[in-house]
Amino acid sequence: MRMMSGAAMVVEALKDVGVTHLFGYPGGAVLDIYDALFAQDVVKHILVRHEQGASHMADGYARATGKTGTVLVTSGPGATNTLTGIATAYMDSIPMVVLSGQVPSMHIGEDAFQETDMVGCSRPVVKHSFLVKRAVDIPKAIAQAYYIANSGRPGPVVVDLPKDIVNVQDSHPYVFPDDVTMRSYNPTLKGHNKQIKKAVACLLKAKRPVLYVGGGSIASEASEVITYLAERLGAPVTSTLMGLGAFSSVHKQFVGMLGMHGTLEANKSMHNADCIISLGARFDDRVTNNVEKFCPHADIIHVDIDPASISKIVNAHVPVVGSVKTVVNQIHAVLDEHDLSGQEEKLADWWEQINDWRARKCLDYVQGDTVIKPQKVIQALYEHTNGEAYVSSDVGQHQMFAALYYPFAKPRRWINSGGLGTMGFGLPAAMGVQFALPDACSVVVTGDGSIQMNIQELSTCLQYNLPIKIISLNNRALGMVRQWQDMNYKGRHSHSYMDSMPDFVKLAEAYGHVGIKVDTLDQLDDAMKRCFAEKERLVFMDIAVDQNEHVYPMQIKYGAMDDMRLSKTERT
Amino acid sequence: MRRIISVLMENAPGSLSRIMGVFSQRGYNVDSLCVAPTADQSLSRLTIITEADDKVTEQITKQVNKLIDVLRVAELTDSAHVERELMLIKVSTLTEVARAEVKRNVDIFRARILDVTSQHYTIEVTGTSDKLSAFSDVMAQCAEITESARTGVCGLSRGDRALRP
């Protein structure tokens, strides 16, 4: 039996669960663990500039790879600084483990220096948490944390480690558990056969079916089987913000993203459907609009690994609890017993109708000669990256433009905070992507508001030579706030305007990177070329875009899915 | 509608706060709560009384069941069940007539007197919540209630239905 200190056990257990990257920031309560990290080079530690950055990096790392992201922070402020990142991961079901230092056991509850009840603070936004009380329990707690984080419906797990149990002077037996299963935790992966048969009957009866694909399709790696399902049925596919890329956005059966800023054809298809199969989506309020008016003609098949998501918002006619991939494979097995040759003819009218909606070209916009439209920047980005980039986004107008104008052909390429809507997510997330995939083209689409929320991580980028490309749509305003103020507050731009913007080019240069300013349309293409020619360095593109542009289409509040504004003057 | 939700969970630190967290963060009511270890000391059994419609009850049971520490959740009000609550009530009585009246009602309600002083009776009464409330009302009429404590309801299904690990 190997004997080691609690701190060494933490590092050893991380190695045993296969952790290669650890995003963290040292401090008093974790100095012993940092000392243990110093003695090895299997687990690569990345020193961030702010703990929130560490949490988003671990998140981006997880989204791009499907592997669990890991964070190490000290007690008190170190721990609380990760809460936004934990909540972001929780809302989007991203596997993450946060190891937080804690004051020594005997001082817990005494309001000791840098003490916070991290288990308590994080409780509403974690899948589970551990407060480890004895050094010998460290390997099991860490092993279970990773098992819980990345099984069932994934999510963040906190492991709180009091300083006395990780003392480097002590020695304890290290036993990594062979079995991490728990009697109280058994996620259901396989759908109930009776429900699968009902779902198939519903799909085959349908004349106007829609596949509604969400983030669960990406988490369960179901892209291939979903594509095959869509093609077998000949049905249109729409995707949530979180599901983009699970089904190729350049596939002819893709009708675009749905919801608040969804395409006309996606929202119309949903509203007029007679059968909707939801695959790992959760009927978020940013999708449904007014639930009372939601898809009045449709039978709803709801496939989700989390039983609590089913019928939470919209009543499901055919609930199926299970992993999307497993359930879709089960559906395929039942479909094998049916003759599907009549599908194309059966759905011909439906496609004719959908193509009429498509003909409206709801994403068209007017690009003038000089002032750059934000949509144009995203389209230029798509061309210059051949649609192959990993695009991390912040939150706001630029996020919606990126989602709508950069078609993702593959899963895990679109990295954004969908549920929590965390500004400041983009840059650190793109860093996590770049650490996980050093050869990938990691791009941040951001705005002048969001980028300033975690801009300190530019320093980390230099330390680790991350050649990230930052595409900042600078409209000198908080664009989405301004848009809502234009639409709902008679154009009173209360505190959505910043008249003290830094010189982003100089700022990028100050951090040791390349900055490029783009003011007019004629400069855009050359600037993009210069940006992507810089293979080894981070480039910050500060692109001035039209301040008055709004994101359209946009659902009209309290309406049905397809009650939408199509431009500043047109409605459905 | 009044619901009795029964939960079997790991008898571990923090389990109860996670369950209560689900109630507070999702805006559900807790009318009463009764919790103690089961015959198997590694498990705790929790009985929660809440006021909720069908949809909310479904969400409560699903969200509680989702917690890692929770093994089983059942709604007892779904089917035949027994439920009991215990109340300790202390009343002060100054007159002989009142003391006799208290004693008579203790007999009628099949309650028990646990402690007697010259001016106080401390009484134990077990039954459904309604019976306890009725007893409390009667006591208020014939004596002055000094204080009382109720355990909250605990319940089990009838017959062979059971919450097992």
pLDDT 10s digits, B49-70:
999 999 999 999 999 999 999 9
Q: What is the pLDDT of residue B164?
A: 87
Q: What is the pLDDT of residue B79?
A: 87
Q: What percent of chain A has pLDDT over 70?
A: 100
Look over chain A and give the mean of its residue pLDDT values, rounded to a whole number. 97
| B56 found inside a domain | yes
| B42 found inside a domain | yes
| A138 found inside a domain | yes
**How far is it, in rounded angstroms, from Cα A376 to Cα A525?**
10
A120 vs B17: CB contact, 8 Å cut-off?
yes
B18 vs A123: CB contact, 8 Å cut-off?
yes
pLDDT beyond 90 at A498: no
Number of domains in chain A: 3
**How far is it, in rounded angstroms, from Cα A370 to Cα A36?**
57
| A394 found inside a domain | yes
pLDDT beyond 90 at B78: no
Q: DSSP labels for B8-70?
A: EEE--TTHHHHHHHHHHHTT---SEEEEEE-SSTTEEEEEEEEE--HHHHHHHHHHHHHSTTE
pLDDT 10s digits, B7-35:
999 999 899 999 999 999 999 989 999 99
**Shared-domain flag, residues B62 and B121:** no
> Of the residues B62, B78, B94, which one is the last residue of a structural domain?
B78
pLDDT 10s digits, A282-316:
999 999 999 999 999 999 999 999 999 999 999 99
Q: Which CATH number goes with the domain that contains B109?
A: 3.30.70.1150
Is the alpha carbon torsion for A497, A503, A505, A511 positive or negative?
negative
**Shared-domain flag, residues B72 and B88:** no
pLDDT confidence band for A172 (50 / 70 / 90): very high
Q: What is the pLDDT of residue A256?
A: 98
Strands (E), A78-221: 96-102, 128-131, 156-162, 172-174, 209-213
Q: What is the pLDDT of residue A558?
A: 95
**How far is it, in rounded angstroms, from Cα A255 to Cα A494?**
36
> Of the residues A359, A394, A418, which one is the last residue of a structural domain?
A359
- Is A330 an active-site residue? no
Q: Which domain holds residue A546?
A: 374-551
Residues of A in contact with B59 (CB under 8 A): 308, 312
Q: What is the pLDDT of residue B165?
A: 85
pLDDT confidence band for A109 (50 / 70 / 90): very high
Q: What is the pLDDT of residue A99?
A: 98
> Of the residues A331, A359, A387, which one is the last residue of a structural domain?
A359
Number of domains in chain B: 2
| A185 found inside a domain | no
**Shared-domain flag, residues A347 and A382:** no
B13 vs A148: CB contact, 8 Å cut-off?
no
Contact (CB, 8 A) for A15 and A42: yes
**Shared-domain flag, residues B69 and B89:** no
Chain B residues bordering chain A (beta-carbon distance below 8 Å): 9-10, 13-14, 17-18, 21, 25, 55, 58-59, 62-63, 65-71, 165
For residue B59, count CB atoms less than 10 angstroms from its CB and return exposed for 0-12, middle for 13-18, buried for 19 or more.
Answer: middle
| B51 found inside a domain | yes
**How far is it, in rounded angstroms, from Cα A468 to Cα A451?**
13
Which residue in B has a C-alpha nearest to residue A145's C-alpha? B68
pLDDT confidence band for A499 (50 / 70 / 90): confident
A311 vs B58: CB contact, 8 Å cut-off?
yes
**Shared-domain flag, residues A20 and A152:** yes
Q: What is the pLDDT of residue B7?
A: 97
Residues of A in contact with B66 (CB under 8 A): 306-308
CA separation (Å) from A13 to A54, A147, A148, A158, A258?
A: 20, 13, 15, 15, 42
Q: Chains A, B: CB contacts under 8 A, how many? A: 38
Q: How near does any CA of chain A get to the CA of B40, in Å?
A: 14
Q: Which CATH number goes with the domain that contains A69?
A: 3.40.50.970
- Is A163 an active-site residue? yes
CB atoms within 10 A of CB A38: 10
Identify the bridge partners of residue B127 per DSSP, sorted by sequence position.
B85
**How far is it, in rounded angstroms, from Cα A415 to Cα A430?**
8
Q: How near does any CA of chain A get to the CA of B44, in Å?
A: 12
**Shared-domain flag, residues B12 and B74:** yes
**Shared-domain flag, residues A220 and A305:** yes
**How far is it, in rounded angstroms, from Cα A411 to Cα A217?**
9
> Pairing state of beta strands B154-157 and B81-92?
antiparallel
**Percentages (nearest 5) of helix, strand, coil residues in chain B:** 35, 40, 25
A184 vs B63: CB contact, 8 Å cut-off?
no
Amino acid at A403: A
From the list A27, A16, A5, A4, the residue with the least C-alpha distance to A141 is A16
**Shared-domain flag, residues B109 and B140:** yes
- Is A38 an active-site residue? no
Q: How near does any CA of chain A get to the CA of B68, in Å?
A: 6
**Shared-domain flag, residues B91 and B136:** yes
Grouping H, G, I as helix, E, B as strand and the rest as coil, residue A472 is: strand
Q: Which domain holds residue B17?
A: 2-78
| A429 found inside a domain | yes
Q: What percent of chain A has pLDDT over 90?
A: 99
As a whole number, mean pLDDT of residues A74-103 equals: 98
| B86 found inside a domain | yes
Is the alpha carbon torsion for B101, B102, B107, B113 positive or negative?
negative
pLDDT 10s digits, A431-461:
999 999 999 999 999 999 999 999 999 999 9
A308 vs B21: CB contact, 8 Å cut-off?
no
| B163 found inside a domain | no
For A396-408, the three-class secondary structure string (H helix, E strand, C coil) is CHHHHHHHHHCCC
pLDDT 10s digits, A2-45:
999 999 999 999 999 999 999 999 999 999 999 999 989 999 99
Q: How near does any CA of chain B get to the CA of A184, in Å?
A: 4
The number of CA neighbours under 13 Å toward the Cβ of B40 is 11
A184 vs B68: CB contact, 8 Å cut-off?
yes
From the list A110, A114, A109, A107, the residue with the least C-alpha distance to A31 is A114
A233-270 exposure pattern, b = at least 16 Cβ within 10 A, e = fewer: bbbbbbbbbbbbbbbbbeeebbbbbbbbbbbbbbbbbb
| A179 found inside a domain | no
Q: Which CATH number goes with the domain that contains A272?
A: 3.40.50.1220
**Shared-domain flag, residues B69 and B93:** no
For residue A500, count CB atoms less than 10 angstroms from its CB and return exposed for 0-12, middle for 13-18, buried for 19 or more.
Answer: exposed
Identify the bridge partners of residue B33 per DSSP, sorted by sequence position.
B48
Which residue in A has a C-alpha nearest to residue B69's C-alpha? A184
pLDDT beyond 90 at B94: no
pLDDT beyond 90 at B154: yes
DSSP run (H or E) holding A380: helix A374-384
pLDDT 10s digits, A97-108:
999 999 999 999
